[in-house]
């Protein structure tokens, strides 16, 4: 892949904007021309131009879908061993370019460099897990040797659904792409990927590596496009499955227009933490502060709401303020920075507005609540109290460094407050009471309950997804592979 991204060694000492000499990746070829308009990718801290890339036309999207459809027989002909070996090859190439990926993520997403390196490490786990799962992923024996089935044997095998339309967000521009691409490669599904326009460079780097490893032409395509062209991908009957990660408003709209295809949605949330009896308050305060503010809170399982049972509310709040104020904000190239820039000016202003609306409605700022650097879109790690469930900072997904903390009477009241939300992705519960652990698991209306940890905990092999407005289906490599395949029964 042609690129003038500086070497990792140079990037450790200077910030030189990356530039890309390529465009969309369609049917195994780079297409430097599109519909005549362009996407400008910015360094999210400095605002400098990283790349100017062509938007794909509707005709190019049609070509990509046709190429993906045509590649299906070649994919079906690959053995599990061949698919696994290809994924291992891809992992090795990503590892060789780990620093290049990390610095690209840092610049295009504004992600603190340590966290960006962590994303690359997670991406390697995702790909290598897919390589391993490709070898052991199979169907099941079906018991029917009774009644009218007496004497019969039955079993299933998993077969790929077909072309997968993958649409990914800005905040994990490598690993969340691979959470769709790696399972698809493991199962033999072609992919047409539409990455976030704000952060497409990591996906293009990945496409360059996939182009080198012998994956069939057309089996992986990357197109940068406007919403109307993306919607044509979702509506197309040649596409068998939509896998979308992003906002709930967009996700449910796409599901509504997707027709009869399979749909997996990993959407947003306003993730909550419960501080209950027996909590190691200093350790919990440190974990929660980081879980709320790392990458300026721009993850769907960033801690947004905290409910502390009454005896713990005052001491925990004071500790949490200290931890918030200890976090360093600023340039994501600084290894000590946790709170970097907001992704763009629109969201930077929105976060200011939501904070101001809460204060006008009676919320009290315990710390933060202010702009630290207007030019670089850096907002202070902010802790609010005296909020209510009608305020946007409580009700909606902030996707920024705004956190609310409120006292509750007991664990039952805390669970009720957590559930008083249209979202249900993950929740954290700090407690040493085993009965409360069981109750939280039984009653919390979320996809995952993290005991003595924040809701931001995720291992890339675990089932991950939400309920209510937080989504449909599950990711996590094997679980995504199940979504991307169908059981085919044989009886004899």
Which residues are CB-contacts of 70 (< 8 A; sequence separation ≥ 6)? 218
Query: Predicted confidence band at 22 (pLDDT cuts at 50, 70, 90)?
Result: confident
Could you give the dihedral angle defined by the CA atoms of residues 335, 337, 338 and 340, in that order, rounded to the nearest 10 degrees? -120
Query: Predicted confidence band at 489 (pLDDT cuts at 50, 70, 90)?
Result: very high
Q: Are strands 485-491 and 154-160 parallel, antiparallel or unpaired?
A: antiparallel
pLDDT score for 15: 44
Same domain as 291, residue 228 = no
pLDDT tens per residue across span 237-266? 999 999 999 999 999 999 999 999 999 999
Same domain as 277, residue 262 = no
> Average per-residue pLDDT in the chain?
95
pLDDT tens per residue across span 227-237? 999 999 999 99
* DSSP result, 1-39: --B-PPPHHHHTT------B---EEETTEEE---SS-EE
Same domain as 256, residue 208 = yes
CB 3 within 8 A of CB 20: yes
Same domain as 115, residue 190 = yes
The CB density around residue 7, as the number of other CB atoms within 10 Å, is 11
Same domain as 322, residue 243 = no
pLDDT score for 483: 97
Same domain as 79, residue 102 = yes
Q: Which two tokens stand for residue 263?
A: 């749909």
CB 204 within 8 A of CB 1: yes
CB 178 within 8 A of CB 126: yes
pLDDT score for 313: 98
pLDDT exceeds cutoff 80 at 18? no
Q: Which of 237, 210, 224, 87 is nearest to 167 (CA)?
A: 224
Instruction: Give, to the nearest 10 degrees, the angle between helix 80-96 and helix 201-212.
Output: 130
Q: Which residue has the tokens 């652990």?
A: 437
Which residues are CB-contacts of 38 (< 8 A; sequence separation ≥ 6)? 52, 53, 54, 55
Query: Predicted confidence band at 399 (pLDDT cuts at 50, 70, 90)?
Result: very high
CB 257 within 8 A of CB 235: yes
Same domain as 485, residue 425 = no
pLDDT score for 142: 97
User: What is the domain count for the chain?
Assistant: 2
pLDDT exceeds cutoff 60 at 279? yes
pLDDT tens per residue across span 117-175? 999 999 999 999 999 999 999 999 999 999 999 999 999 999 999 999 999 999 999 99
Mean pLDDT in residue range 390-396: 97
**Region of 334 on the Ramachandran plot (φ > 0 left; ψ -120 to 50 alpha; else beta):** beta
- The verdict on residue 404 lying in a domain is yes
Is residue 266 flagged as an active site residue?
yes
Q: Is 174 helix (H, G, I), strand (E, B) or coil?
A: coil
Could you give the dihedral angle defined by the CA atoms of residues 481, 81, 462 and 184, in that order, rounded to the nearest 10 degrees? -30
- Alpha-carbon distance of 271 to 471, in angstroms, equals 14
CATH number of the domain enclosing 164: 3.40.605.10
Same domain as 313, residue 251 = no
Mean pLDDT in residue range 393-410: 98
- The verdict on residue 28 lying in a domain is yes
Mean pLDDT in residue range 291-320: 98
Same domain as 153, residue 127 = yes
- The verdict on residue 435 lying in a domain is yes
- The verdict on residue 174 lying in a domain is yes
**Whether the predicted model's global pTM rises above the 0.75 cut:** yes
Choosing from 31, 133, 266, 475, which is the catalytic residue?
266
pLDDT score for 13: 32
- Alpha-carbon distance of 462 to 198, in angstroms, equals 28
- Alpha-carbon distance of 264 to 113, in angstroms, equals 30
Same domain as 261, residue 354 = no
- The verdict on residue 3 lying in a domain is no
CATH number of the domain enclosing 438: 3.40.309.10
- The verdict on residue 1 lying in a domain is no
Same domain as 237, residue 134 = yes
- Alpha-carbon distance of 415 to 349, in angstroms, equals 32
pLDDT exceeds cutoff 60 at 12? no
CB 265 within 8 A of CB 471: yes
Widest CA span of the chain, in angstroms?
75
Is residue 374 flagged as an active site residue?
no
E-state strands within 388-456? 402-408, 423-424, 426-430, 448-451
Choosing from 189, 225, 300, 355, which is the catalytic residue?
300
pLDDT tens per residue across span 463-480? 999 999 999 999 999 999
Domain of 292, in residue numbers: 272-459
- The verdict on residue 88 lying in a domain is yes
pLDDT exceeds cutoff 70 at 484? yes
Q: Which residue has the tokens 């340039």?
A: 331
- Alpha-carbon distance of 108 to 174, in angstroms, equals 11
The upper half-sphere exposure of residue 301, i.e. CA atoms within 13 Å in the direction of its Cβ, equals 24
Burial group, residue 96, by CB count within 10 angstroms (0-12, 13-18, 19+): exposed
pLDDT score for 213: 95
In sign, the C-alpha dihedral spanning 306, 309, 312, 314 is positive
Same domain as 230, residue 282 = no
- The verdict on residue 466 lying in a domain is no
Which residues are CB-contacts of 126 (< 8 A; sequence separation ≥ 6)? 175, 178, 179, 182, 460, 477
């Amino acid at each position: 892949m042609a690129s003038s991204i500086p070497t990792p060694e140079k990037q450790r000492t200077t910030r030189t904007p990356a530039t890309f000499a390529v465009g969309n990746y369609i049917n195994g070829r780079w297409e430097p021309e599109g519909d005549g308009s362009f996407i400008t990718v910015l360094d999210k801290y400095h605002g400098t131009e990283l790349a100017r890339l062509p938007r794909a036309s509707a005709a190019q999207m049609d070509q990509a879908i046709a190429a993906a459809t045509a590649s299906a027989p070649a994919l079906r002909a690959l053995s599990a061993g061949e698919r696994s070996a290809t994924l291992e090859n891809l992992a090795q190439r990503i590892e060789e370019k780990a620093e290049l990926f990390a610095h690209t993520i840092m610049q295009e997403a504004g992600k603190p460099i340590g966290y960006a390196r962590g994303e690359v490490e997670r991406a390697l786990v995702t790909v290598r897990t897919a390589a391993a799962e490709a070898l052991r992923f199979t169907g099941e024996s079906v018991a029917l040797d009774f009644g009218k089935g007496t004497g019969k044997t039955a079993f299933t095998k998993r077969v790929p659904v077909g072309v997968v339309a993958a649409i990914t967000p800005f905040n994990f521009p490598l690993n969340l792409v691979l959470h769709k691409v790696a399972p698809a490669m493991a199962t033999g599904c072609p992919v047409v990927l539409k990455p976030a326009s704000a952060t497409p460079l990591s996906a293009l780097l990945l496409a360059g590596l996939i182009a080198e490893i012998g994956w069939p032409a057309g089996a992986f395509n990357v197109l940068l496009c406007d919403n109307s062209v993306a919607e044509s991908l979702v509506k197309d009957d040649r596409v068998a499955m939509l896998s979308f990660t992003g906002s709930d408003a967009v996700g449910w709209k796409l599901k509504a227009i997707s027709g009869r295809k399979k749909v997996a949605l990993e959407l947003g949330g306003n993730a909550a933490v419960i501080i209950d009896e027996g909590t190691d308050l200093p350790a919990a305060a440190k974990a929660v502060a980081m879980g709320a503010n790392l990458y300026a809170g721009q993850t769907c399982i960033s801690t947004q709401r905290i409910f502390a049972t009454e005896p713990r509310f005052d001491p925990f709040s004071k500790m949490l303020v200290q931890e918030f104020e200890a976090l360093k904000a600023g340039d994501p190239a600084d290894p000590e920075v946790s709170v970097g820039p907001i992704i763009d000016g629109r969201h930077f202003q929105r976060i200011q507005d939501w904070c101001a609306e809460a204060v006008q409605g009676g919320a009290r700022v315990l710390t933060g609540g202010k702009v630290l650097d207007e030019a670089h879109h850096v907002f202070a790690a902010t802790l609010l109290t005296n909020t209510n469930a009608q305020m946007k900072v409580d009700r909606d997904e902030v996707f920024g460094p705004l956190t609310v903390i409120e006292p509750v009477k007991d664990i039952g009241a805390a669970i009720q407050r957590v559930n008083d939300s249209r979202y249900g992705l993950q929740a954290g519960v700090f407690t040493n009471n085993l009965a409360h652990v069981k109750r939280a698991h039984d009653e919390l209306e979320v996809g995952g309950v993290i005991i003595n940890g924040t809701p931001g905990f995720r291992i890339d092999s675990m089932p991950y997804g939400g309920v209510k407005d937080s989504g449909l289906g599950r990711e996590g490599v094997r679980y995504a592979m199940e979504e991307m395949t169908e059981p085919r029964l044989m009886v004899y």
